[in-house]
Chain A
Amino acid sequence: EVQLLESGGGLVQPGGSLRLSCTASGVTFLSFAMTWVRQAPGKGLEWVSGISGRGGAIYYAESVRGRFTVSRDNSKNTLYLQMNNLRAEDMAVYYCVKINSKNLPDDNHYYMDVWGKGTTVTVSS
């Protein structure tokens, strides 16, 4: 069974930084692209960033481009999200999500088949 475990969330002041981690088990990690999805309190899902299996392709939502950096260490089965210059509107539950293939997308196929439980990021002074 594939499991994803996020960590690194917490309280940070506006303008501060935080690094989220997501450790995967039960899967050949480098064979799959990964994504971060967030959900602000009482709001819908927002796609944040995606990275291909070997890290050669990286994408960001416009709302975080230039402030967030996604990376992965396939030797540690771990996905990261470095978040800088955090704003109040970044406050959300951040989910680590496995994609169906190593590419984003793969011949027009794109879906999120395994979700972590999420880690909460609070931005407040």
Chain B
Amino acid sequence: QSVLTQPPSVSAAPGQKVTISCSGSSSNIGDNYVSWYQQLPGKAPKLLIFDNNKRPSGIPDRFSGSKSDTSATLGITGLQTGDEADYYCGTWDSSLSVGVFGGGTTLTVL
């Protein structure tokens, strides 16, 4: 069981928008910034969003992040087939003193 909770899968049509939720607790999301990672099939994960809503250089603004209390959300607009991947949220848990991830969400672009 992952410390952070994500839906196992989401899907939408090309060009549409999708959101992926990530739920935690006061000791992790409630106390620390959230990051998001994209893992394309057969590849290593890549940083997509950091500090709740910041994008690293090279990440298009179709990707956005937000956080409220003990939950975070990843948004993807203008969906492309190349966005099909697994998406993970992550943060630090201040009580456990460990890094934590969500279980991952598989995005299918229909």
Contact = CB atoms under 8 A, between A and B. Distances in A.
Contacts, number: 75
B50 A100 contact: yes
A59 B50 contact: no
A-B pairs with the 3 shortest C-beta distances?
A: A47-B99, A111-B35, A44-B104
Contact of B99 (A109, A110, A117): A110
Contacts of B33: 108-111
Interface of B: 2, 31-33, 35, 37, 39, 44-47, 50-51, 56, 86, 88, 90-92, 97-104
A113 B88 CA distance: 14
Nearest to A98: B47
B32 A110 contact: yes
A95 B31 contact: no
Interface residues of A, number: 26
A32 interface: no
6 contacts: A44-B86, A44-B101, A45-B45, A47-B99, A111-B51, A117-B44
Given A45-B101, A47-B100, A109-B33, A115 B46 contact: yes
A104 B76 CA distance: 29
B44 A118 contact: yes
Q: Which of A44, A95, A108, A117 has the most CB of B within 10 A?
A: A44
B56 to A, nearest CB: 7
B47 A44 contact: no
A111 B101 contact: no
B99 A35 contact: yes
